Amino acid sequence: MASISLKGLNKTYGPLTVVHDIDLEIADKEFIILVGPSGCGKSTTLRMIAGLDEISGGELRIGGDLVNDVPSKDRDIAMVFQNYALYPHMTVYKNMAFGLELRRAPRDLIDAQVTAAADILDISHLLNRKPKALSGGQRQRVALGRAMVRNPAVFLLDEPLSNLDAKLRGTMRTEIAKLHKRLSATFVYVTHDQVEAMTMADRIVVMKDGRIQQVDTPQQLYDRPVNIFVAGFIGAPPINLLPATIARRGEQFVAIFDGQELPLPSHYDKARIAAYEGREVVLGIRPENLHELPPADIPQQHLAPIAAIADLAEPMGSEVHLNVTAGGRNLIARLSPRFRARIGSEVRLIADTSQVQLFDKDTERSIHH
Amino acid sequence: MRWLRDMWTKEGPGIAKDAAKKHGLALFAEIIRREWWEIVKLNLLFILASLPIVTIPAALAAMASVSVALVEDRNIYLGRDFWAAFRKYLWRATMAGFILSTAIALGVYATVTYASLATGALVFAVPLAISAAATVFICVFACHDLVLMVMRDLPLVQRVRLAALASLARPLPAIGAIGFVAALWLVHILLYPVSVFMPATLNFSLGMFAVTFGVHRAAVESLSRVTSMRTSRGGGAAAQNT
């Protein structure tokens, strides 16, 4: 069992607190990703789990055992670093075998483990080469292999793909996800790349300023963000955040933005929304919920027109990202590549309001979740 | 200081899995370029192990064992593997070294003697040719025998037979390797005292690597023949049992 439990975990440097009382339960064999902007405390949290940074307060348990004061080498974990941290004077084989050598493992076992890991990672042909001859992707595989040979209960990966080019990152993402399935170990992965987080994780931990904002599955994070930060952080292009005022229209509520009424979905908690009647809120609409034509599969009552001025069209091949201005705000819409807008002229977009998000303007928290 | 850091951390071009494999002299040069530092360290180990003189054959065998790993692109832990091989082949190599060095010395003696006699009477040209050929063959045989000894544990008779067969089947690479060794020492002598550090740094290990590289293919072919014979014998026995 390699479940990880963080209870009130914090990290301080003198008067400065960089991780604030984090509570997190990571299940055995789970692939969990800590994501957030630079300086949010995700790497520090990982390093505390690894035992590379001292824990200032709180409890850290691995497999049920309190490990606050257990040295890193005795925690049954392996860490993969962003800069690979390979020993340049050693061959790939020796880099991978080093951890087992230190533990005085028998040579046959070392050989078997290194060979097996190299086969899995497809680096058998590199075993007798030194890191200076290897490309970034190959170095990263070696770093993964070095972690694998020890057969640890927990893998800690600190932005392992950040130094790779975009194409290779895509390939390695898939390989790490496959590796997790194959090894059946607990993976804790740190990244600032939301695409990595969304595509690989069982659950994502979104962090900001040393605090956890939300812990959820990728889809739930996308569909039900708990605050404006999470809504804005997850999703590319980012969610459109618009100032709107809540008003009642009979039994229904609408959000009024730039004089246009956007009906709110009937399944939202009316009692909660009623509390905001007449008040300004922040309305979140994902770019894919803005359409050039009314979609046939969405009921008419969830559709509302938005008049805007086209500023810039970014053709992406499979879609066009249309930047528009409406009510003095910049919006982005993901439209069909066949859509042609005249820049500077008015366009009429159709908003699908069944998926809109509502946030309290002051607390920035979601109103309806 | 960035250049210094880059020297260690800068990414390389990568090594394609399906890249065309080098052969012959190109492979020889590539291994030397890649493993030159290991070769230098190997030379120092050899000198250290040879200090008692009588241990020279065992040190040669240990050096051959490491060289085989270099040729086969296998991982080595130089110090550990060298001394392990030194201990393992101590008696076998000493015995073989004594016999073969005596045979080579006799061959050289006979060749020199017949050569001096042949200048007076042409009839001695025949034994001169025979003794010279025999001496070269013993040298080639010694190279194969040493490499076969460190590649697989075989009964003495079988090893001798295989070494003789390999020497007959592919003598030229071994002769080429011996020529390379001779050239190394010639360069040392010609460039002395500039080349004063050559024996201390690479002459022995580079020479042994060249010999191993030269005879490796013949040794592998001989050993695969043994393996296939055993397999067919095992298969025949199994067929008889059924």
Write the pLDDT tens digit of every residue in A233-253: 999 899 999 999 999 988 889
Q: Does A82 touch chain B (CB under 8 A)?
A: no
Q: B214 φ, ψ to 5°?
A: -65, -40
Question: Element (H or E) spanning B185, and its range?
Answer: helix B171-190
What average pLDDT does the structure give for chain A? 91
- Rounded distance between C-alpha atoms, residue A110 and residue A97, angstroms: 6
Q: Is B14 a domain residue?
A: no
- Specify if B233 maps to a domain: no
Q: What residues have CB less than 8 Å from A83, skipping those under 6 apart?
A: A163, B9
Quick check: is B136 in a domain? Answer: yes
Q: Is residue B71 part of a domain?
A: yes
Q: State the best of A101, A135, A149, A163 to mutate against chain B, taking most chain B CBs within 10 Å.
A: A135
Nearest to A221 by CA among A369, A363, A361: A369
Residues of B in contact with A129 (CB under 8 A): 15, 34
Whether B8 sits inside 8 A of A88 (CB atoms) is yes
Average pLDDT of every residue of chain B: 91
Q: What pLDDT, on a 0 to 100 scale, did the predictor assign at position B215?
A: 95
- Average pLDDT over every residue of B136-158: 95
Is residue B44 assigned to a domain?
Answer: yes
Please tell me the predicted confidence (pLDDT) of residue B236: 55
pLDDT tens per residue across span B207-218: 999 999 999 999
For residue range A18-39, what is the model confidence (pLDDT) as tens digits? 999 999 999 999 999 999 999 9
Q: Is the ipTM of this complex over 0.90?
A: no
Number of domains in chain B: 1
Searching chain B, which residue's CA lies closest to the CA of residue A88?
Answer: B8
Question: Does B141 score more than 60 pLDDT?
Answer: yes
Test A136 with B11 for CB contact under 8 angstroms.
yes
Interface test with A, best of B3, B5, B9, B73 (most A CBs within 10 A): B9
Tell whether A325 is within 8 A of chain B (Cβ).
no
The set of residues, in sequence order, having a beta carbon less than 8 Å from that of B23 and lying 6+ positions away, is: none
pLDDT recorded at residue B120: 87
Query: What pLDDT is attached to residue B237?
Result: 53
Does B240 fall in a domain?
Answer: no
Q: Residue B161: is it exposed, middle or buried by C-beta count within 10 angstroms (0-12/13-18/19+)?
A: middle
Q: Which residues contact A63 (CB under 8 A, 6 or more apart)?
A: A1, A2, A3, A76, A153
Find, among A144, A185, A176, the residue nearest to A62 by Cα: A185
Please report the pLDDT score of residue A164 as a whole number: 80
- Cα separations in angstroms, A340 against A208, A294, A315, A325: 39, 16, 10, 17
pLDDT grade for B240, boundaries at 50, 70 and 90:
low
- Using CA atoms of B23, B24, B25, B28 in order, give the dihedral in degrees to the nearest 10: 70
Chains A, B: CB pairs < 8 Å: 40
Summarize pLDDT for A263-307 with one digit per residue, the tens: 998 888 888 889 999 999 999 999 999 999 888 888 888 889 999
Mean pLDDT by 10 residues, chain A (369 residues): 91 93 95 94 94 94 93 90 88 93 91 91 90 89 89 91 83 87 91 92 96 96 94 93 92 89 86 91 95 88 90 93 92 91 90 92 88
For B47-56, what is the mean pLDDT?
A: 96
Put simply, the answer to whether A128 touches B75 (Cβ < 8 Å) is yes
Contact B15 A83 (CB under 8 A): no
What pLDDT, on a 0 to 100 scale, did the predictor assign at position A84?
85
What is the percentage of chain A residues whose pLDDT exceeds 70? 99
Q: How would residue B234 be classed by pLDDT, with cut points 50, 70 and 90?
A: low
User: How far apart are alpha carbons B216 and A219 in whole angstroms?
Assistant: 59
B17–A122 C-beta distance less than 8 A? yes
Contacts of A93 in chain B (CB under 8 A): 75
pLDDT reading at B238 higher than 60: no
Q: Is the peptide bond before A152 cis (omega within 30 degrees of 0)?
A: no
Go through the domains of chain A in sequence order and give each one's CATH number. Answer: 4-233 (3.40.50.300), 240-360 (2.40.50.140)
pLDDT in tens, B66-107: 999 999 999 999 999 999 999 999 999 999 999 999 999 999
**Residue in A92, A95, A119, A128 to test binding to B, most B beta-carbons within 10 Å:** A128
On whether residue B237 sits in a domain, the answer given is no
Which residues of chain A lie closer than 8 angstroms to B34, CB-CB? 129
Residue A9, classed as helix, strand or coil, is: strand
Query: Does residue B231 sit within a domain?
Result: no
CB-CB under 8 Å, B12 with A128: no
Write out the residues of chain B at the interface with chain A, using a CB-CB cutoff of 8 A.
7-15, 17, 34, 73-75, 77
**Domain range holding B52?**
35-226
At B242 the pLDDT is: 43
Task: Specify the 3-state DSSP secondary structure of A334.
Answer: strand
CA gyration radius, chain B? 21
Q: Pick from B15, B17, B73: which is nearest to A134 by CB?
A: B15
Q: Which of A115, A125, A161 to mutate to test the interface with B (most CBs of B within 10 A)?
A: A125
Summarize the confidence of residues B46-75 as an average pLDDT.
Answer: 96
DSSP B122: G
